[in-house]
Each structure stands twice: as structure tokens, then as C-alpha cells.
Amino acid sequence: MSNIIEEVFGDLIKERLEKATAEGMREGMREGMRKGREEGIKIGQEKGKREGVMEKIEKKAVIKTEKVVKEMVANGLNDKIISKVTGLTLVEVRKLKN
């Protein structure tokens, strides 16, 4: 009789344990996906802010370079000197002059 009870309850316990394990894994996956999504959003926002700041810095640098080139042109410096000082190519210097 003890063996029969043990077999019946053993199978029942094993079945419930397997179901609980499977449900725990599914719940863990859902939680991991949620956390991963939230972390991904944060990373994306931070990257967007960094790129925005870098773009702003680059635009300011371009504006400053344009002003410097225009001042150099106004002071009568030739294109080759402006190119060497600013690091721009001759084509870029000539575009900024016009």
C-alpha cells in the first residue's frame, strides 16, 4: 500500500514540480525581457543625448571656422595659408569664401 501511495503522490509531486519550474522559467523570461526593454530604452535615450550634444558642438565648430575663414579673407590672406591654418582643403576654403 505504501508503494502505491508513494507512486501516486510521487508522480503528482513530480508533475507539479515540472509545471512550477516551467512557469517560473516563463515568468523569468518575461521579467528579463521587460528589464531588457527598459534598459534598451535608457541606453537609446542616453545615446541620443550624446549624439545631440556632439552634433551641436560640431555645428558650433563649423560656424566658428566659417567666421575665422571670413576674417582671414577680409585680412587679405590667400587660400593656401587659410587652408594650412584651418586644416580645410582648398576647395572647402573657396566654398566658404563665396
**Residue 76: which region, alpha, beta or left (left: phi > 0; alpha: psi -120 to 50)?**
left
Separation of alpha carbons 98 and 93, rounded Å: 9
Residue 8 has pLDDT above 70, yes or no: no
pTM: 0.47
- Give the pLDDT confidence score for residue 31 in this predicted structure: 94
Tell me which residue range forms the domain holding 30. Answer: 2-97
Assign 1 a pLDDT band (cuts: 50, 70, 90): low
- Give the pLDDT confidence score for residue 65 in this predicted structure: 85
- Give the pLDDT confidence score for residue 26 in this predicted structure: 93
Domains identified in the chain, total number? 1
pLDDT digits (tens, 9 = 90+) for 19-77: 989 999 999 999 999 999 999 999 999 999 999 888 988 888 888 888 888 899 889 98
